[in-house]
Amino acid sequence: MAEEMLKAMAQSIVEGNADAAANLARQAVEAGMNPLEAITKGYMAGVNEVGDSYACGNVFLPELVMAGEAMKAAVAVLEPELKKQGASRETLGRVVLATVEGDIHEIGKSLVGTMLTAAGFEVYDLGVNVPADAIIAKAEEVGANIVGLSALLTTTMIRQREVIETMDRMGLRKRTRVIVGGAPVTKDWAQRIEADGYSEDAVGAVNVAKQLVKG
């Protein structure tokens, strides 16, 4: 039953069917399925399939857009469930989160924000296509412990380095640590640009953030 549901979730993304994706998410919540499992084992399988087909030239931009919309619809249903898990905890720290300039991919970044919120962080999500100076200004304004930078394009990863270098120059790196992520981002890249942390997924992002605020 759960196995079939996970397959149907993946299929709803592949078909770009936002209604089906949202309905399955509602059914999953009613059935008591772990919302994170629904995302990672269900919907993400579909997202990866569409991404691979796009890379091979088997599907085109409209399919990518529809897959993104379907994924957003599913996450919108599951988000409150994810947040509930951390509703009563005290604040672990303040995180400013953004997708870097030139990049409009928001789903993974928002998922990281949801998971950090659920874990007890106070998250300031600045959205997508955010210039370095706006990210840094917000981090200073709220006294962020962590800045989280998402990049989904090989052409925008470079912006992560720009934020880090600017923060270095301004002497902000001691108080505010920087974590990076996004599909093309690797541990190797994170080390090269001297980020303080990296994770390939939202669960790992929470673990890295917790380590960093501990000391």
Separation between Cα atoms, residue 140 and residue 57, nearest integer Å:
43
> 127 or 143, CB closer to ligand B12?
127
Stretch that binds ligand B12, among 15-23, 43-51, 78-86, 118-126 (CB under 6 A): 43-51
Interface size with ligand B12, residues (CB under 6 A): 40
The token pair at 79 is: 């988000």
CA distance readout (Å), 104 to 26, 30, 93, 214? 27, 32, 26, 32
| Interface with ligand B12, residue 76, by CB under 6 A | no
| Per CB under 6 A, 65 contacts ligand B12 | yes
Report yes or no: 163 and 193 within 8 Å, Cβ to Cβ.
Answer: no
C-alpha to C-alpha distance for 163 and 147, rounded to whole angstroms: 10
Reference 209, options 113, 129, 136, 142; nearest CA is 113
Place of tokens 């089906």: 20
Tokens in use for 28? 């999953």
Residues 144-203 that bind ligand B12 (CB under 6 A): 148-150, 152-154, 179-184, 199-202
Q: Which is nearer to ligand B12, 20 or 88 (CB)?
A: 20
Binding mask 107-146 for ligand B12 (x = CB under 6 A): xxx-xx----------------------------------
Q: Which residues bind ligand B12 (CB under 6 A)?
A: 47-48, 50-51, 54-55, 61, 64-65, 67-68, 71-72, 102-109, 111-112, 148-150, 152-154, 179-184, 199-202, 205
